[in-house]
Amino acid sequence: MLYTRTGDNGTSGLFGTCDRFSKDSPVYHALGAVDEINSLLGFCRAYSLKTQWEDVDIPAELLTVQEILFIIQADVAGAQKSIEQTHIDHLEELIEDIEKKIENPQSFVIPGATEFSGLLDFARAVCRRTERAMVSAHEIDQTSLLNITYVNRLSSLLYALARYTGTQNGGIELKPHY
């Protein structure tokens, strides 16, 4: 069955406790935000399959990120799961590798040089919202700093991927005029 009716009163449970909590609590905002970025990354991954990427296996990297987001989500929900520093190290190495392949913009960039780069910038913005939700959950001891750090690096990766895919697909990135 795809529904349980147990949350009809606006509460839900977490791993390891029989207690019920308001669905408006910081932990559920964090869980929802992680779910949202993971779903959006699924769309990005599917879109990335339309192109053959020379230097970065974007579909594989996005799938890896999605798997790690499930670990983070389980951790936030109270399961005995957690990410490791090596997951963050991998993102940092990937970002550094991509930075070598792009010209780093010296100002803000208007999203949308290409459809895919615009989609990745959208994912970056959602990832930043996820990070804010994770910070709120951390303030009530519901998530570790490693999770927040990972999501922060993920937003940097998405920024780098947006710049990379935009230039790889012949897009011209525009700077805002103030």
Question: 84 near 63, Cβ under 8 Å?
Answer: no
Check residue 142 and give its pLDDT.
75
- In 3D space, the residue among 24, 29, 30, 31 whose CA is nearest the CA of residue 9 turns out to be 24
Q: Which pair of structure tokens corresponds to residue 29?
A: 């905002």
Check residue 68 and give its pLDDT.
98
Which residues fall within 8 angstroms of residue 96, CB to CB, at 6 or more apart? Answer: none
Check residue 137 and give its pLDDT.
92
Check residue 153 and give its pLDDT.
98
Check residue 1 and give its pLDDT.
75
CA–CA distance, 53 with 34 (Å, rounded to integer): 27
The number of residues in the chain equals 178
* Angle at CA of residue 161, ends 155 and 163, nearest 5°: 110
Query: Position of tokens 């208007």?
Result: 110
Name the residue ranges covered by the structural domains of the chain.
24-168
* Angle at CA of residue 50, ends 108 and 116, nearest 5°: 15
CATH class of this structure's domain 24-168: mainly alpha
Phi-psi region of 176 (alpha: psi -120 to 50; beta: other; left: phi over 0): beta
Q: How far is CA 66 from the centre of its chain?
A: 8
Element spanning 28, H or E: helix 26-48
| pLDDT tens series, the chain, 178 aa | 787 787 787 877 777 777 777 677 899 999 999 999 999 999 999 999 999 898 999 999 999 999 999 999 999 998 999 999 999 999 999 999 999 999 888 889 999 999 999 999 999 999 999 999 999 999 887 789 999 999 999 999 999 999 999 988 889 999 999 9
Residue ranges of alpha helices (H) inside 49-144 are: 58-76, 85-99, 115-139
